[in-house]
Structure 1
Amino acid sequence: MTSQHAPMSRRKTIVATTIGNGLEFFDFTIYGFLALVIGKLFFPTLDSYGQLLLTVGTFGVGFIMRPLGGIVIGAYADRAGRKKAMTLTIFLMALGCAMIAFAPTYAQIGVAGPILIVLARLIQGFSAGGEVGASTTLLVEHATPANRGYMASWQFASQGLGILLGAAVAGGLTAALGPQGMEAWGWRVPFFIGMLIAPVGIYIRRHLHESLETAGTPAASAARRSSIAEVCGEHGRTVLAAILSVLGGTAAAYVVTFYMPTYAVRELGLPPTVALFGAVLTGLLSFVLAPLVGLASDRVGRKTLIVWGRVAMMLMIYPGFLWLNISPSPVVLFIVVALLSTALVVQTVPAITMLPEMFPKHVRASGMSLVYSVGVALFGGFSPFVSTWLVGASGNKLAPAWYLLGMTLVSLLGLLWLKDFTGRDIDDAAAHEPDAEPSARTVRA
């Protein structure tokens, strides 16, 4: 049982998972922070708007593979164990980083350069699709019913760590090398750094305690069946409601974190270093606040915090973008980013905890991976692309605010059909009744 894991084992799990996930998100997201530079090097035949549109579109391409990665790696995690799945995702992410680091530009080999970049992003997307499910499930299964929110919060904290490192590296290199140095060779440095993730994979495989018993257990026998078929067949309504609930948080995360630096430079005329250090602030707040929000969710419940976080986001989105356009200064940018990032943490930490709680243990990683990867693929990764297109098509610099407002509002509807398992034993067989069978159990809201 998860409650039998010793505190020392939990601390080791938190440290190893946070470091591994942080490096994975560094690898996956650094591309977004270098969108303007990569656009010039790999799409030089287009104007600046076309370069940006294709570059953020290529960023989104990585999310196309997320559902497939979630299905394949999630099923692998339910069959072979969480630890092996995490190790696989880490090595795949490092491979994608290496391909980008060594990729010849358009000027060197023509259209083959952008094709190689797209292929690398597809590999990274496949990896990221399975990483969140496997790692969050591992954290949840090392927790007790009283501290699952805190344990799962380190998944989002690790994302903040990766964003913090990525934005800091990109901002530091931009400030030190300038535009010419970045275009000549500086853009490759973060991807070389990202290749260092591979040794972390070896550490995780050797030193973490596996939370899934895979030999001679009912869970192992069940895992030999199609876990995705079971998730969709017996928990279909939960999957659909969860995807709907996820879309608001993922859209907000990728607009606030990855589109905002590009928006600040292109639309507001702020220096690239200022915009990137705004992303550093987002990563720092995510890393610091996530564990605190996790603790709070264990006390007041997941749904309560999600609702308040999303209401706060809706109230601040439009005024924040309006203020930025009226007074485009570094101070205003940092204040707006800080407020939106705080609301993002408050809603996302309990949401990411709820996802694995909703599925029985033998299909937990599959269910978590499917819901998260589909939600992020449809509404997260392409949010920078949609935001860029909306501004270009409408000529309205406030268009991203309206897009986020709509996504956040719709995502609240999904919560109506989701159970809140705060404080309950999620490994109790009676806790996860198939959607086809009405439940008479009273669920804490």
Structure 2
Amino acid sequence: MNSTTEKTPQSGKKHFWNKKPRKELTVDDITIVDKDLLKRAVGAAALGNAMEWFDFGVYSYLAVTIGKVFFPGSNPAAQLIATFGAFAAAFLVRPIGGLVFGPLGDRIGRQKVLAITMIMMSIGTFCIGLIPSYESIGIMAPILLLVARLVQGFSTGGEYGGAATFIAEYSTDNRRGFMGSWLEFGTLGGYLLGAGLVTGLTAALPTETMLSWGWRIPFFIAAPLGLFGLYIRLKLEETPAFQKHMEKQDELEHSKPRLGLWQMLYKYRAQMLKCIGLVLLFNVSNYMLTSYMPSYLTGILGLSELSGLMLVMVVMFVMMPLTLFWGHWNDRLGRRPVIWLGAIGLIVLAVPCLMLIGTGNLLWVFVGLMVLGMLHTCFSGSMPATLPALFSTEIRYSALAIGFNISVSLFGGTTPLLTTWLVEKTHNLMMPAYYLMVAGLIGVITVFTTRETARKPLRGSAPAVGSEAEARNLIQKLRLRRQREQREQQAENNDTVLP
């Protein structure tokens, strides 16, 4: 005879009637997002990222020219390495910027820090256009270029983490992926604007004129763009999630001390490692395509400068709507499947793409670049929503800024430099493909350890919806779910008792 009896709480079985009742959610507990404020927040954040990538587009497309202006007397490959060395140097100070601006953003607010980073980015970019050439002031020219790049790097240390946090905390739970994808839409738009301006100048001006003063024009445009972006950001309100967090902090000021930097890094070390792995995947493919490929096509494959620039620009243009496409679908399919698709695609298709690019035939070069661009949009459409969701509200800006910039500095910004060096040393034109494959493998492993966050509230934040009607529907769904769980628990406990 079966002697199964009902387990008591002491025996380890918790009955639903012994559980502490959960507080019933009300409309006041749910964040209702103002749609107009959301659009302004997304636009302001995307504009700042566009400003950052306007500079990257200009610098990448002028890499050969900048090498001749600031590093004369060397062979073209050495000039390119020196130019990308100055490019990479800015990334070495990005973690320092993240260490400064991240905690500041968690303490005084996202909006204020994003205004500061906008000012510094504009000043750094504008100053590059003012630096005399090597022929005019000798060794001071590359030194001043390095200083300006360091200012840019320090400021961008607080830019992406803040912008992604800003959009994520303003967005509704069901549309966070799509809204976040506008951040990368701004990235591509800014890059395309910078690249398009350089391409237009290259086509319109003689080579001697470009070397003399034409290259300075794109950097001077940074000043009015920066002032406009600053105006937009100063008109914004703080995010609802941060406002609620600060209200709680005021109530708990004496009972809950703020985590120190090292305490935070230790406590959230698992999330930090996931952030670094995801950003590695995201940025290696990004900088390989946007920063390295224009110079690879012209300096290594020998394509005409105008042809190389135009090919990458067309790819960037197609990537813009694709980024929004994946932003929409990762809200429905989930972040993990979309990122997995891109990572596995890199592992499988990187070598075929580089073989197509290596033919030098413009059609096949375009096909190879387009496939790489399409794979990258899986990341650009998903990461702005995935990365902020790794961390809770009180440390989101700090942790994301630090983790993002450590990864970008070590693996993203150094991609053009390391890839150029590897090709130069090994004479193997497939090195970019192998680099992408390693990034894809790391991405697959990282995504496997990351939980799905689509259509869920951010850590430490209340659910966010777009209207009061949605809030009431959410409450009703949660109530029905709770009732179903209670019935299932009741049935489970009844099954443990024999008649």
| Fold match by TM threshold 0.5 | yes
Q: 1:160·1:282 contact (CA, 8 Å) conserved in 2? A: no
Q: Contact 1:213/1:219 (CA < 8 Å) preserved in 2?
A: no
Pick aligned residue for 2:391 from 355, 359, 367 = 359
Report the counterpart of residue 165 of structure 1 in structure 2.
193
Quote the Cα distance in structure 2 between the aligned partners of 1:401 and 1:288: 25
- Residue equivalent to 1:329: 361
Do the aligned residues in 2 keep the contact of 1:83 with 1:204 (CA within 8 Å)?
A: no
Aligned-partner Cα distance in 2 for 1:224–1:116: 43
Task: Work out whether residues 164 and 279 of structure 1, in 8 Å CA contact, stay in contact via their aligned partners in 2.
Answer: no
Partners of 2:404 and 2:156 in 1: CA distance: 10
The match for 1:405 is 437
- From the superposition, tell whether residues 216 and 232 of structure 1 become closer, same or farther in structure 2 (CA, over 3 Å): closer
Deviation for aligned residue 1:16:
2.3
Cα separation, partners in 2 of 1:56 and 1:2, compared to 1, 3 Å = farther
Tell me which residue corresponds to 2:160: 132
Q: What is the alpha-carbon distance in structure 1 between the residues aligned to residue 30 and residue 131 of structure 2?
A: 44
Whether the aligned pair in 1 keeps the contact of 2:120 and 2:151 (CA below 8 Å) is yes
Structure 1 residues 194 and 430: CA distance shift in structure 2, 3 A:
closer
Match of 1:369 in 2: 401
Cα distance per residue 1:327-356 (max 9 Å; x no partner): x13222222222111110112322332111
Query: What one-letter code is carried by the residue in structure 2 that aligns with 1:294?
Result: G
In structure 2, do the counterparts of structure 1 residues 197 and 24 end up closer, same or farther at CA, with 3 Å as the change threshold?
farther
Alignment check: 8 A CA contact 2:46 2:185 kept: yes
Tell me the residue number matched to 1:47: 75
Higher radius of gyration, 1 or 2: 2
CA distance in 2, matches of 1:218, 1:72: 24
Q: Aligned equivalents of 1:214 and 1:118: distance in 2?
A: 41
What's 2:92 paired with?
Answer: 64
Distance 1:84 1:214 in 2: 17
Q: What is residue 231 of structure 2 aligned with on the other side?
A: 203
Answer yes or no: is 1:218 the counterpart of 2:252. Answer: no
Say which of 294, 308, 312 aligns to 2:327. 294
User: 8 Å contact 1:80–1:214 — kept in the other structure?
Assistant: no
Q: CA deviation at 1:427?
A: 4.4
**How far is the alpha carbon of 1:363 from its aligned partner?**
0.9
Equivalent residue runs for 1:240-255 within 5 Å: 240-255=273-288
Write the distance in 2 (CA, Å) between the matches of 1:224 and 1:44: 55
Q: How far apart, CA to CA, are the structure 1 residues paired with 2:230 and 2:460?
A: 33
Matches within 5 A, 1:250-269: 250-269=283-302
Tell me, in whole angstroms, the C-alpha distance in 2 between the residues paired with 1:83 and 1:429. 18
Structure 2: give runs of 5+ residues left out of the alignment: 1-28, 464-499
Which residue in 2 is equivalent to 1:86?
114
Could you tell me which residue of structure 1 aligns to residue 481 of structure 2?
Answer: none
Query: C-alpha displacement at 1:239, in angstroms?
Result: 0.4
2:448 to 410, 416, 428: 416
Aligned equivalent of 1:434: none
Q: How far did residue 209 of structure 1 move?
A: 2.1
The answer to whether the Cα contact below 8 Å between 2:357 and 2:369 also exists between their aligned partners in 1 is: no
Gap change, CA 1:145 and 1:111, over 3 Å in 2: same
Deviation at 1:96, TM superposition (A): 0.7
Q: What aligned pairs does 1:6-155 form with structure 2 within 5 A after superposition?
A: 6-155=34-183
Match of 2:10 in 1: none
Q: Deviation per CA, 1:356-386, whole angstroms, max 9, x where unpaired?
A: 1111111111111112111111111110111
* 8 Å CA contact 1:219, 1:361 repeated in 2: no
Q: 1:161, 1:37 → 2: CA distance?
A: 23
1:245-269 deviations in whole A, cap 9, x for unaligned? 3212211110111110101001211
When structure 1 is superposed on structure 2, of 334-343 and 207-216 the one drifting more is 207-216
Answer yes or no: is the 8 Å Cα contact 2:56–2:191 preserved in 1.
no
Q: 1:26 to 1:278 in 2, by over 3 A?
A: same
Deviation at 1:197, TM superposition (A): 2.8
Displacement of 1:124:
0.6
1:214 is displaced (CA, Å) by 8.2
The match for 2:413 is 381
| SS of equivalent residue, structure 2 residue 221 | helix
2:12 match: none
Structure 1 residue matching 2:202: 3-state secondary structure: helix
- Structure 2 vs 1, CA of residues 335 and 210 (structure 1 numbering), >3 Å: closer, same or farther? same
Taking a change above 3 Å as real, the CA distance of residues 210 and 333 of structure 1, as seen in their structure-2 partners, is same
8 Å contact kept, 2:97–2:153: yes
- Partner of 2:311 in structure 1? 278
Q: Measure how far apart 1:275 and its partner are.
A: 1.2
CA RMSD of aligned residues (A): 2.1
- AA in 2 matched with 1:344: H
8 Å contact 1:159–1:283 — kept in the other structure? no
Matched residue SS, 2:387:
helix
Alignment partners' CA distance in 1, 2:173 and 2:205: 50
Q: Which amino acid aligns with 1:15?
A: G
Counterpart Cα distance in 1 of 2:460 and 2:301: 53
Asked if the contact 2:275–2:390 (Cα under 8 Å) also holds between the matched residues in 1, the reply is: no
C-alpha distance 292-216 of structure 1, shift in aligned 2 (>3 A): closer
Alignment CA distance shift 1:65-1:226 (3 Å): farther
Classify the secondary structure of the residue corresponding to 1:423: coil
Instruction: Give the residue type in structure 2 aligned to 1:143.
Output: S
Which residue of 2 is the match for residue 426 of structure 1? Answer: 458
**1:201 Cα shift?**
3.7
SS at match of 1:375: helix
* In 2: Cα distance, 1:169 partner to 1:2 partner: 45
Change (3 A) 1:128 1:227: farther
Seen in structure 2, the aligned counterparts of structure 1 residues 226 and 402 have a Cα distance that, compared at 3 Å, is same
Q: Is the 8 Å Cα contact of residues 391 and 459 (structure 2) preserved in structure 1? A: no
Q: Distance in 2 between matches of 1:404 and 1:349?
A: 19
